Structure 1
Amino acid sequence: MLAHADHPISAPVNDANVHKLMARAVVAPDSHVLDLGCGTGTWLQRLLAERPGTTGVGVDSGPRTVEAARRSAEELGLADRLTLHCLDAKEYRCERRADAVFCVGATHAFGGLRETVLGCAEHLAEGGTMLIGDGFWERPPGEATLRALDCTAEEYRDLHGTVELVEKLGWQVVYAHTSTLDEWDDYEWNWTGSLTRWALTNPGHEAAADALEEAARHRTAWLNGYRGTLGFVTMLLMRND
């Protein structure tokens, strides 16, 4: 939460592109939308604020983020249209299928892209859309990148391989946004900077030293590891019936 204080969208996507993606994903004015791995609920809150007839459900495993989402929804007057659940995304069972299902920057909750597509599809109404954002390799990763991300080269694919995987699962990409380097940089500078500023302005807090250490570790991993190598794509999917 501290790291995302100045960039509440927990993915390298700027506000203009968030708006564009949501506008394409949610067409009907009375849509019901599900966000799996919603964090503090920023995507849903922005959508519901723009569309008074829309309802939403957010699911996240972090008690503090869910509570923050609940407080924010109440302050914005959206609490009557936004239901929040604090549990693992894989454990959620829908009472009402959604017209659109989001999972952007939270595919780790399912264990990867393939599992995310399959898991989100279980909650989707017929004819609905899914908005899924995940990493991909902009270029083959070197050892420094793999160490920084603590992963293997097989954990992600290139952009073509990412789209191909989705298609093999029976879905078509009807739109997508590939995050630019500027979007990545803005996201990462905000992530590390917000955490650093909090630590420096709260030097007496018991977590201040840990926050500084984590910000420095993350910044090094980014600048000396995956910057320019790990990409991010947010795909709008429809079933290939």
Structure 2
Amino acid sequence: MNRERISGIAHTQHPIKAPLDDDSVNALLERALPQAEGRVLDLGCGTAEWLLRALASRTSLHAEGVDVSTEALDQAHRAASERGVDERLVLHHQEAADFISPRPYDLVISVGATHAFGGLRPTLAAARGHLAPGGRVLIGESYWDRAPSPAAADMFGHLDDLATTVDRVVAEGWTPIQGHVSSRGELDAYEWACWGSLASWALDHPTDPAAARALETANARRSDWLHGYRNSFGFLCLVLRPTPVLTDKK
């Protein structure tokens, strides 16, 4: 069972691939989306759930998503058709960092996908390159809520704390106009949903050649969470606008 299939099964009950509940997702989109006609881009869109919800909430929007996962994009195509928004959605199968568009976007989304660009700073730089004047960016990034254990640090690599993460964003020339720090309930619900869904699939398909691997993976990931990073991992989403150069006229 490859990583794409594992991810698809694990997110069956949690289509937003980040630790946010529906109310938090809706609040962030409400703040970030253009009120009238506009174009939205998701870099590292996966199954395009952010875009599907955006299109459902604003019938004047058009959206594009970029991802390397064929399975995720196929699922996004099916979901868009089922929800009746497929005519306003274009999906690109390629590396998000290599995506080029001749037209800018009113909102650029990249939630939980900064690894595709090599970190937070290059992700913000890429988003800026796609942004229309007056546009906004919705970005989601991990951080350490407290000092991690050595095992947790090995799993996630270098992360800053919350304040330093926001400071780095501001230093790159962005102004946060809204933010959301995932609650303990959101973080726990996400982990339980992912590894519970994967384990349930394995138990429901005992004769599938991939069942044993799926159950082993679910148990291992749940253990990594509970014994490794649960007490130190955090997740932050920010709605950003470019910071202009302001002058104090007297």
TM-score, normalised on structure 1?
0.96
What is residue 118 of structure 1 aligned with on the other side?
125
**Cα distance per residue 1:18-68 (max 9 Å; x no partner):** 000000001322121001111111111111111110110011110000011
| 2:95 matches 1:92 | no
Do the aligned partners of 2:34 and 2:106 also contact (CA within 8 Å) in 1? no
* Corresponding residue to 2:33 among 15, 26, 38: 26
Structure 1 residue runs without a partner (length 5+): none
**Partner Cα separation in structure 2 for residue 69 and residue 13 of structure 1:** 19
- Paired position in structure 2 for 1:235: 238
* Secondary structure in 1 matching 2:166: helix
SS in 1 for 2:9: coil
* Mapping for residues 138-157 of structure 1, pairs under 5 Å: 138-147=145-154, 149=155, 151-152=156-157, 155-157=158-160
Q: Does 1:65 align with 2:72?
A: yes
* 1:196-231: CA deviation from partner (whole Å, max 9, x where unpaired): 000110111111111111111110110001102010
1:109 maps to 2:116: yes
Q: Does residue 223 of the first structure (1) align with residue 226 of the second (2)?
A: yes
2:30 maps to a residue whose letter is A
Q: Does 1:202 align with 2:205?
A: yes
What is the rounded CA distance, in whole Å, between the counterparts of 2:159 and 2:133 in structure 1?
29
Where does residue 136 of structure 2 map in the other structure?
A: 129
**Percent of aligned pairs with the same residue?**
43
1:190 maps to what in 2?
A: 193
SS in 1 for 2:40: strand
Whichever residue aligns with residue 183 of structure 1, its letter is: E
Report the AA paired with residue 79 of structure 2: S
Whether 1:160 and 2:160 are equivalent positions in the alignment is no
2:81 maps to which of 66, 74, 80: 74
Q: Which runs of 4+ in 1 moved over 4 A?
A: none
What does the per-residue CA deviation read over 1:136-187, in whole Å, with 9 as the maximum and x for residues that have no partner?
110111213224x2x43xx110111101111111111111000001000000
Q: Hey, what's the Cα distance between the residues in 2 that align with 1:210 and 1:217? A: 10
The residue type equivalent to 1:25 in the other structure is A
Shift of 1:95: 2.7
TM-score, normalised relative to structure 2 = 0.93
SS in 2 for 1:157: coil
Aligned length: 237
Distance in 1, matches of 2:31 and 2:228, equals 33
